[in-house]
Amino acid sequence: MNNNGEQLQNEKNKMPNNLTSFQFDIKLNDRIRQNGHNPLLIWITGLSGSGKSTLANTIEQRLFKQGIKTMILDGDNIRNGLNKNLGFSTEDRSENIRRIAETAKLFLESGTVVIASFISPLITDRANVKSIVGSSFYFEIFMDTSLETCEARDPKGLYQKARTGEIKNFTGISSPYETPINPDFIFNSEENTSNQQIDLLIKKLTKLITTNE
């Protein structure tokens, strides 16, 4: 993944004219050699209640057992900290995703595999994430779970509040969700083949993460 390491470093060096990026001696390729695996951003998108966090947790457990350095970034956790000053307008949602992408990029520079679980309803926002971290570091998973199933689950009672107007701009109810056009993996949590899907997904991810050295 030497070329990818150079790509991420080149993106990092693109600074505004009044800023200068200090060139540290330890590079991403050094971290890749030390870690024994490549970095990757695994971006899980889908409606609230589609199973994003559950899948993120399962992926991390499976990769962690392989000795891979991982970090989960999850919607509620990020909004309770880094992005607690943002609301749910279209502009704030885009800024929320942009900050998450920049945070993920920092973890990628450390050689970590990042698992990001966010509704991220807009195609343009997800494309921006891919642009920020670099296409070769981005793996998109679409949780293909119907609105009816998500609403029936409603683990946090959010859909009920959205239906009564208590929550505004709620994805799937009063705010749109744009289905990914060409995701890297489609996960259907409504089928009874979840274990087979997970095995196939982990096989794909392991192939991307494993170094050729």
Q: What is the pLDDT of residue 211?
A: 73
Percentage of the residues of the chain whose pLDDT score is greater than 90: 63
pLDDT digit string, tens, across residues 68-91: 999 999 977 888 888 889 888 889
Nearest one of 68, 55, 65, 58 to 107, comparing CA atoms: 68
The stretch 22-42 carries a mean pLDDT of 89
Q: For the range 145-152, what are the long-range contacts, defined as Cβ-Cβ under 8 Å and sequence gap of 24 or more?
A: 145/46, 145/47, 145/49, 145/50, 145/51, 145/188, 145/189, 145/190, 146/190, 147/47, 147/172, 149/49, 149/50, 149/189, 149/190, 150/47, 150/48, 150/49, 150/50, 151/49
Please name the residue ranges forming H helices in 13-122. Answer: 28-35, 52-65, 75-79, 90-109
pLDDT digit string, tens, across residues 126-170: 999 999 999 999 999 999 999 999 999 887 889 999 999 898 889
This prediction's pTM: 0.86
Residue 1 has pLDDT above 50, yes or no: no
Higher pLDDT, 139 or 210: 139
Confidence of residue 63 (pLDDT cuts 50, 70, 90): very high
Confidence of residue 194 (pLDDT cuts 50, 70, 90): confident
Domains of the chain and any CATH numbers: 2-11+27-209 (3.40.50.300)
Percentage of the residues of the chain whose pLDDT score is greater than 70: 91
Known catalytic residue at 48: no
Which of the residues 120, 135, 146, 189 is marked catalytic? 120
CB neighbours of 194 closer than 8 A, spacing ≥ 6?
none
Range with the largest mean pLDDT of 7-11, 27-31, 59-63, 151-155: 59-63
